[in-house]
Amino acid sequence: MEVEWFELLPEQCPPEDAQQCDGYYYRIANGNPAQSVDFFSQRRLQPDKVFKGLGVDECITRAVSLFSDRKEAEKRLKLPKFRNTNIALVELKPKDGMIKKTFGTAHYSWWRTKDFDVSQAKVI
């Protein structure tokens, strides 16, 4: 079965050590209710930006940041960048893509498929 990714991914992406999605995660979202744009990668949101940092490559820029711990997501709400945002809870299943633990406590990178149903995201 061919996976249909939500956006164009570079070769070797998702990485070999990514796992099938399975579980509940938290996402910082602008919408209430959450909308598809709340689950776009940084590359899709900022196509011309040069992203820098340890461990940041083109594959990572095309992933969606999620948190496995609600408190870790809530900490981000204190940053000016995330003022007036919400936290959405999503249940990810294997059909929704691949996920990998990255960048510190409770942070995950998620490569979304076209099968992900945004309407199941619940703002909490």
* Average pLDDT score over residue span 60-80: 93
Q: Is pLDDT at 93 greater than 70 in this prediction?
A: yes
* Average pLDDT score over residue span 43-71: 91
Q: What is the pLDDT of residue 109?
A: 97
Confidence of residue 77 (pLDDT cuts 50, 70, 90): confident
Q: Which two tokens stand for residue 80?
A: 């000016």
Confidence of residue 79 (pLDDT cuts 50, 70, 90): confident
Cβ-proximal residues to 19 (8 Å cutoff; 6+ apart), any chain: 98, 99, 100
Q: What is the pLDDT of residue 1?
A: 57
CA angle (93 as vertex; 40, 10 as ends), nearest 5:
45
Helices (H), 4-124: 42-45, 58-61, 70-76
Decide: 123 and 87 in contact? Cβ < 8 Å.
yes
* Average pLDDT score over residue span 95-108: 93
Confidence of residue 103 (pLDDT cuts 50, 70, 90): confident
Whole-number Å distance between alpha carbons of 76 and 95: 28
